[in-house]
A and B are shown apart, each in its own frame.
Chain A
Amino acid sequence: MTSADGVVPIARRPGRILCLTASGTQMLYAIGAGKQVVGVDKYSTYPASAPRTKFTGYESSAEDYLPLKPDLVILSFSTGTLISQLRKLDIPTLLLPPATTVQGTLAQLDELGQATGHLQAARRVGAKLVEFLHHEAQQAHGRGKGKSYYIELDPTYYSATSKTFIGAMFSLFGMRDIADAANKASAGYPQLSAEYILRADPNYVFLADTVCCHQTAKSFAARPGFAGLRAVKAHDVIPMNDSVASEWGPHSMETFVRLLVSVLEGRFHAPAPTAASG
């Protein structure tokens, strides 16, 4: 079969999968391939029952993975010669790079379904996901249309444009990303100027730096000049789990869309930020 890292020879249904991407783990379990998984990386926190390891995907030697005897390794990025080392050991790999659209997630679900022998289930999960997104978007599109937002990835004002996966989620609801104006600074994740954020005065602020950097609605409002933002005044500064903003798996997608709908419908009440996963 064909993957992002080329043609992958998977001769038989893999029974010992090592998955080193949290989004990939979500997809494997969603399509019913969880029983074939022998290990997931330390950042794969959903589902909680997944066999977590200390691996990160940044390992420099494929030898580290051998004790698990994997017959398929799934990664979302490729560092050094890891993939070529695995191939030399006759261990097939699948590369699932970060998706930037819902279609990207659906394509990866298909790919995983094909590789693990769960193609029909993968297509069912994909169709259900699309149905869910359409339903939620229909419900709340009117409330989101034209509303501006700022999503913060770290306290130095790195943000995500609508060309990213998380940006695509907002776009489903007709929302306007203030980071789009800085597209020339970076294709997907520009660093914004603080005074631009003040000037843009977004309707909503989403803090995706609550885990890494312990930001809260309170600490956001305490920054110089930020107390006057309408999102601060209207209590529309929404803390969220960092990983939800960076993962493209079905669980993260559903979690975020539910959060967004609750915000748009005024049902959101800020929980205390935790280190829980998305």
Chain B
Amino acid sequence: MQELDGEPALRSPELPAVLGAAGGERPVRLFEVGDAPTGLVFPTRLRPFHLAIGALFVLVAATGALLVGPADIPPGAVLAQVASRIPLLGVHSSLSATDIAVIWQLRMPRVVLGGLVGAMLAVAGASYQGVFHNDLADPYLLGVASGAGLGATIAVVYLPHLAGLPIDPLPLAAFVGAVTAVVATFALGRSGRGGRGATSLILGGVAVGAFFTAAQTFLQQQNTPVLAEVYTWILGGLSTAGWQQVLLVLPYVVIAGAALIGARRLLDVLSVGDDEASSLGVRADLVRLVVVVAATLGTAAAVSVSGLIGFVGIIVPHTVRLLAGPSYQRIVPLSVLYGAGFLILADLLARTVVSPGEIPLGVVTAFLGAPFFLVVLRRSRRLA
């Protein structure tokens, strides 16, 4: 057994006590599911410098995204404009009304929305990986994407007359579709012989995903003029971001994010396997339910305003894992920060690479995500 961070390694029976300890300060043994203990240990405590680096990353990404754009406003003028809104600083800004609108009505909400969506997708991905013991689990594992896609298609095909209303039916329909798909997955997963296990849920997600995707494809095929609109939504993006969308998604991200951060220690317990977790007094099925409900609601809200942005839920948690170790007590909160920073930067690329044109954000994240995926696969093979 090795020692990390100068703290003693554990000998197995102490696990519940450690996990119950404030701050999860000691290392935890890592077991492979269903196997004998591997003997690996890792630190779990989230250190201030981890948070500081994450916060700095978000700050740098957000500042960069705020300063750069096709409107070519000098960066100094943007900073002065932002500073002029901070009381007591006494900074004066002399930008035109158009430039002020660009900064406060377009760039700022876009940066904030990108941060919220990225944080939500990343923390949901990390949590899914925790409860399903699967490194490749992402927020769309249980049918959120196909459900949201079907909901969006229904809105485009059947509710176009509502498009002019103050509340846009598309995000609402996407949200309802996503939640419906996950509820169906749970119903299907629990009806299986395997009962409440992770595998039956994942299989349920595969079946529900296929069914919802088929329904969506059928609807699109029957209504070919909507193809472009649905396709645009599926590719994901923040091109129409405004404060309204920020307000729409904010409560979900805050509540779901808080719930998942609150459950981070239990995710470490689940990493030893359902049976082992039960023997330690943790109800794996209940934890899984709470985590999945929080992650699903948050993800559904995020995709309802941003469309389907892939890979964030995989890239970010794995990067955090590489940087800060495998404990969910670190991965979950840090995924919030790195997810926010990552999506803000990806969106900056989406709107600047072919400026003044845009690339769909989902294309950018997939472009970065696919090679990263390969790296993760190679690394996990080496570890195995």
**Residues of A near any B CB (own CB < 8 A):** 43, 56, 58, 154-158, 181-182, 184-186, 190-196, 198-201, 212-216, 219, 223-225, 228
Asked if B134 is an interface residue, CB under 8 A from chain A, the answer is no
Bound form: Cα–Cα A196–B240 in Å? 13
Given contacts A196-B71, A212-B228, could you give 18 more A-B pairs where the C-beta distance is less than 8 Å?
A154-B232, A156-B232, A156-B237, A157-B240, A190-B354, A191-B239, A194-B106, A194-B239, A195-B106, A196-B355, A198-B102, A201-B98, A212-B225, A212-B229, A214-B160, A223-B242, A225-B101, A228-B98
- Complex contact B109–A224 (CB within 8 A): yes
- Complex contact B229–A225 (CB within 8 A): no
- Complex contact B239–A185 (CB within 8 A): no
- A–B pairs, 20, beta carbons within 8 Å: A58-B224, A154-B228, A155-B240, A157-B240, A157-B358, A182-B357, A186-B357, A190-B354, A190-B358, A191-B239, A191-B360, A193-B239, A194-B106, A212-B160, A212-B228, A212-B229, A213-B163, A224-B242, A225-B106, A228-B97
Asked if B2 is an interface residue, CB under 8 A from chain A, the answer is no
In the complex, chain A residues whose CB is within 8 Å of the CB of B225: 43, 212
In the complex, chain A residues whose CB is within 8 Å of the CB of B239: 156-157, 191, 193-194
**Residues of B near any A CB (own CB < 8 A):** 69-72, 97-98, 101-102, 105-107, 109, 160-161, 163-164, 221, 224-226, 228-229, 232, 237, 239-240, 242-243, 351, 354-360
Bound form: Cα–Cα A228–B71 in Å? 15
Bound form: Cα–Cα A190–B360 in Å? 11
In the complex, chain B residues whose CB is within 8 Å of the CB of A182: 354-357
In the complex, chain A residues whose CB is within 8 Å of the CB of B70: 193, 195-196, 199
Other-chain contact of B351, A43, A193, A228 (Cβ < 8 Å): A193
- Complex contact A192–B242 (CB within 8 A): no
Query: Nearest Cβ in chain B — how far from A148, in angstroms?
Result: 13
- Which 3 A-B pairs give the minimum distances between C-beta atoms? A185-B357, A182-B357, A225-B101
Query: Nearest Cβ in chain A — how far from B9, in angstroms?
Result: 53
In the complex, chain B residues whose CB is within 8 Å of the CB of A185: 354, 356-359
- Complex contact B228–A193 (CB within 8 A): no
Query: Nearest Cβ in chain A — how far from B304, in angstroms?
Result: 15
In the complex, chain A residues whose CB is within 8 Å of the CB of B97: 228
- Complex contact A184–B357 (CB within 8 A): yes
- Complex contact A193–B242 (CB within 8 A): no
Query: Nearest Cβ in chain A — how far from B383, in angstroms?
Result: 41
Question: Interface centre among A191, A193, A219, by most B CB within 10 Å?
Answer: A193
In the complex, chain B residues whose CB is within 8 Å of the CB of A212: 160, 225-226, 228-229
- Complex contact B101–A198 (CB within 8 A): yes
- Complex contact B354–A184 (CB within 8 A): yes
In the complex, chain A residues whose CB is within 8 Å of the CB of B98: 198-199, 201, 225, 228
With both beta carbons as reference points, the residue of chain A lying nearest to B227 in the complex is identified as: A58
In the complex, chain A residues whose CB is within 8 Å of the CB of B224: 56, 58
Query: Nearest Cβ in chain A — how far from B361, in angstroms?
Result: 11
Bound form: Cα–Cα A154–B356 in Å? 17
In the complex, chain B residues whose CB is within 8 Å of the CB of A156: 232, 237, 239-240
With both beta carbons as reference points, the residue of chain B lying nearest to A57 in the complex is identified as: B224
With both beta carbons as reference points, the residue of chain B lying nearest to A158 in the complex is identified as: B232
- Complex contact A181–B163 (CB within 8 A): no
Bound form: Cα–Cα A196–B107 in Å? 11
Bound form: Cα–Cα A213–B69 in Å? 27
- Complex contact B359–A198 (CB within 8 A): no
- Complex contact B358–A195 (CB within 8 A): no
Bound form: Cα–Cα A185–B360 in Å? 11
- Complex contact B355–A193 (CB within 8 A): yes
- Complex contact A213–B106 (CB within 8 A): no
Query: Nearest Cβ in chain B — how far from A249, in angstroms?
Result: 17
Query: Nearest Cβ in chain B — how far from A98, in angstroms?
Result: 14
Bound form: Cα–Cα A222–B123 in Å? 34
- Complex contact A194–B357 (CB within 8 A): no
Bound form: Cα–Cα A156–B230 in Å? 12
- Complex contact B164–A219 (CB within 8 A): yes
Given A154-B229, A212-B226, A214-B160, check contact A192 B72 (CB 8 Å). no
Bound form: Cα–Cα A271–B102 in Å? 30
Bound form: Cα–Cα A154–B232 in Å? 9
Bound form: Cα–Cα A123–B82 in Å? 62
With both beta carbons as reference points, the residue of chain A lying nearest to B223 in the complex is identified as: A56
